[in-house]
Amino acid sequence: MSDDELLVHREGYVGVVEFNRPKRQNAFTWKMYDLVSDAMDRHEDDDEVRVIVVRGAGPSFSSGFDLGEPVGADHVAKQKQMTRIAHRARLKVWNQPKPTIAQIHGYCLGGAHDLALACDCAIAAEDAKLGVPEIQFGMGSPFLLMPWIVGLRKTKELLLTGKTISGTQAAEYGIVNYAVPLDKLSDRVLELAEEFAQVPPPALMLQKKGINRAVEMSGFSNAANAWLDLAGVGRLWKSPEVEEFNAVAARDGIKAALQWRKAKYAKKPKAGR
């Protein structure tokens, strides 16, 4: 199966899901989320596939959701889009019986970052740029898995600031398993894929299900669904700063809006004792 926006094929025993909008840094559309769900089904049904690699064509894994993509006009429509399309795709990755590996280079931001978190393992280029900047736009992480991966302190630092970190830092925090030089990335992913491929599939699938259920029983599923309900009505929250930020972004672009906010808080308060 291939589509202009997503390429799906098999390379030996490795099933590949490749984002294919390189000129847009593989920014996600609603259609791409649907295609990811379909790709997971296809690879699950293919007995020749033992491992699935999720990657991006061109300069990046993915810069996140395409801000030019139409969003539901009201909170009900927005919630349906998020629940039925984007959240469904991430859950398809999370619940995929076969092991999944995110191969990260360039930008890995926002919803794409959360999709990478839904994979079983991730390997990043050392100079990759990872983060969930949604909070800077008045929203938040669409798939609240990070607390179970990096712990409470780092989750709050990353999600409450929306900061971007390098692949090397992501490995230190546990967001990815390994960070390697860009020219070694594909080889390292294939090395891990080979390790998975040598495990008997029934045992691997059962063990993976047990690990996922342990996380779900500790509260992940309820937290993710509860946050999704709140995020669906996020457009109803009003803030003069967010409205001004959005106005600058619409007029001059996201970079200009971020510079506007940085200038707004450029004067630092005096340090206390």
DSSP 181-195: -GGGHHHHHHHHHHH
The answer to whether residues 88 and 166 belong to one domain is yes
Q: What is the pLDDT of residue 59?
A: 97
On whether residue 1 sits in a domain, the answer given is no
- Residue-wise pLDDT for 167-208, tens only, equals 999 999 999 999 999 999 999 999 999 999 999 999 999 999
Q: What is the pLDDT of residue 52?
A: 98
- From residue 28, how far is each of 98, 140, 185, 236 by CA, in Å? 24, 17, 23, 23
On whether residue 161 sits in a domain, the answer given is yes
The answer to whether residues 147 and 261 belong to one domain is no
The answer to whether residues 177 and 246 belong to one domain is no
Residue 227 has pLDDT above 80, yes or no: no
The answer to whether residues 90 and 170 belong to one domain is yes
Residue 121 has pLDDT above 70, yes or no: yes
Q: Are 184 and 192 in contact (CB under 8 A)?
A: no
- How far is Cα 9 from Cα 2, in angstroms, rounded to an integer? 8
pTM of the model: 0.89
**Count of other CB atoms within 10 angstroms of residue 80:** 12
Question: Among 21-25, 226-230, 231-235, where is mean pLDDT lowest?
Answer: 231-235
Backbone angles phi, psi at 102, to 5 degrees: -90, 125
Q: Are 163 and 135 in contact (CB under 8 A)?
A: no
Please, what is the average pLDDT of the chain?
Answer: 88
What is the distance in angstroms between the CA of the first residue and the CA of the last residue of the chain?
Answer: 62
Residue with the bigger pLDDT between 103 and 83: it is 103
Q: What is the mean pLDDT of residues 1-16?
A: 88
